[in-house]
């Protein structure tokens, strides 16, 4: 008698577990009555950089085109930028120098690095 009670309890327990199973599990994401689609994948341009790569390049000192420092007449040029530039002309009479930075020629006072004029090529 005890065996029959145990068997019925086990079959009831197993049948109740089977009733809680998700019926749409075999449909692989297709839900009845709901419009649920897959997430759209972004199509990345293979020439573009990831956010992590951009951040590493910016920390290394590289700036993308168009985001370079804009120089104005009367500003003082940073010493590091002055060292990176190539001297084109130096006038010892009035202490001015012309240097080329990127594609820009800057006419400036040598001692104070004050910008007198800017020529863009």
C-beta of residue 115 within 8 angstroms of C-beta of residue 77:
yes
- Structural domain tally of the chain? 1
Domain that holds residue 77: 70-121
Report if residue 53 sits inside a domain. Answer: no
Sorted by sequence, the CB contacts under 8 Å of residue 37 that are 6+ apart come out as none
- What would the pLDDT profile of 48-97 be if each residue is shown by its tens digit? 778 888 788 777 777 666 556 677 889 898 888 888 889 999 998 899 99
For 1-36, write each residue's pLDDT tens digit.
778 887 887 887 776 655 555 555 555 555 555 555
Is 93 part of a structural domain of the chain? Answer: yes
- Would 27 be classed as within a structural domain? no
Residue 114 in any domain: the answer is yes
Q: What is the pLDDT of residue 67?
A: 56
Measure the CA dihedral 108/112/114/117, to 10°. -10
In a domain, 35, yes or no: no
The answer to whether position 118 is within a domain reads: yes
In a domain, 26, yes or no: no
Q: What is the DSSP string of 39-92?
A: PPPP---TTSPPHHHHHHHHHHT---TT-SPPP-TTPBPPHHHHHHSEEEEEET
């Amino acid at each position: 008698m005890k065996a029959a009670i145990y068997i019925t309890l086990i079959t009831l327990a197993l049948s109740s577990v089977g009733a809680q199973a998700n019926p749409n599990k075999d449909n692989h994401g297709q839900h009845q009555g709901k419009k649920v689609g897959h997430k759209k994948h972004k199509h990345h341009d293979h020439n573009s950089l990831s956010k992590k790569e951009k951040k590493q390049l910016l920390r290394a000192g590289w700036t993308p085109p168009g985001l370079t420092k804009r120089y104005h007449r009367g500003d003082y040029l940073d010493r590091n930028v002055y060292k990176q530039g190539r001297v084109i002309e130096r006038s010892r009479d009035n202490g001015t120098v012309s240097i080329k930075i990127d594609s820009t020629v800057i006419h400036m006072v040598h001692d104070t690095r004050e910008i007198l004029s800017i020529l863009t090529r």
